[in-house]
Structure 1
Amino acid sequence: MHRGKGMKFVGDSRVKSDGRKVNVPKDYSEYPGKTEAFWPNFLLREWMVGAVFLMGFLCLTLAHPAPLEAVADPLEAYIPLPDWYFLFLFQLLKYQFASGMFNIVGTVVIPGLAFGALMLAPWLDTSKERRPHRRPIATSLMLLGVASVIFLTWESVDQHDWEAAAEQGQLVIPGEIDTEAEGYLIYAEQASCIQCHGDQMTGGAGNPNLLETEKTPEEVIEIIINGQGAMPGGQFEGTDEELEIMAAFIANHGEDPEE
Structure 2
Amino acid sequence: MHRGKGMKFVGDSRVPAPESRKTMLPKDYSEYPGKTEAFWPNFLLKEWMIGAVFLVGYLCLTVAHPAPLERIADPTDTGYIPLPDWYFLFLYQLLKYTYASGPYTVIGAMVIPGLAFGGLLLAPFLDVGPERRPLKRPLATSFMLLAIAATVFLTWQSVATHDWAAAERQGKIVEKVDFDKTSDGYKIASENTCITCHGDNFQGGAGAPTLIGTGLSAEEVAKIAVEGKKGPGGTMPAGIFKGNDEQLKKLSEFIAEIGKK
TM-score normalised per structure 1: 0.69
1:233 aligns with 2:233: no
> How much has 1:35 moved relative to structure 2?
2.1
Cα distance change on mapping 1:137 and 1:171 into 2, 3 Å: same
From 156, 159, 167, give the equivalent of 2:158.
156
Q: Deviations over 1:83-110 (max 9, x none)?
A: 3332222222222222222222212222
Q: In 1, Cα distance between the equivalents of 2:126 and 2:250?
A: 78
Residue pair 2:127, 2:139 contacting (<8 A) in 1 also: no
Residue pair 1:210, 1:253 contacting (<8 A) in 2 also: yes
From 44, 69, 94, give the equivalent of 2:96.
94
> How much has 1:67 moved relative to structure 2?
0.6
> How much has 1:65 moved relative to structure 2?
0.8
> How much has 1:71 moved relative to structure 2?
0.8
Structure 2 gaps of 5+ residues are 1-6, 229-235
Residue pair 1:197, 1:210 contacting (<8 A) in 2 also: no
The equivalent residue for 1:106 is 108
The equivalent residue for 2:123 is 121
Structure 1 gaps of 5+ residues are none
Partner-residue secondary structure (3-state), 2:171: coil
Q: In 2, Cα distance between the equivalents of 1:92 and 1:221?
A: 42
1:46 aligns with 2:47: yes
Q: In 1, Cα distance between the equivalents of 2:26 and 2:130?
A: 28
> How much has 1:145 moved relative to structure 2?
3.0
1:142-153 aligned at under 5 Å gives the runs: 142-153=144-155
> How much has 1:55 moved relative to structure 2?
2.4
1:206 aligns with 2:208: yes
The equivalent residue for 1:55 is 56
**Aligned amino acid, residue 8 of structure 1:** G
Q: Deviations over 1:50-100 (max 9, x none)?
A: 123212312321222101111112225122222333222222222222222
Residue pair 2:198, 2:209 contacting (<8 A) in 1 also: yes
**Aligned amino acid, residue 23 of structure 1:** L
Residue pair 2:131, 2:137 contacting (<8 A) in 1 also: yes
**Aligned amino acid, residue 128 of structure 1:** P
Q: In 1, Cα distance between the equivalents of 2:145 and 2:260?
A: 64
Aligned residues: CA RMSD: 4.1
The equivalent residue for 1:172 is 174
The equivalent residue for 2:231 is none
Residue pair 1:88, 1:156 contacting (<8 A) in 2 also: yes
**Aligned amino acid, residue 107 of structure 2:** V
The equivalent residue for 1:71 is 72
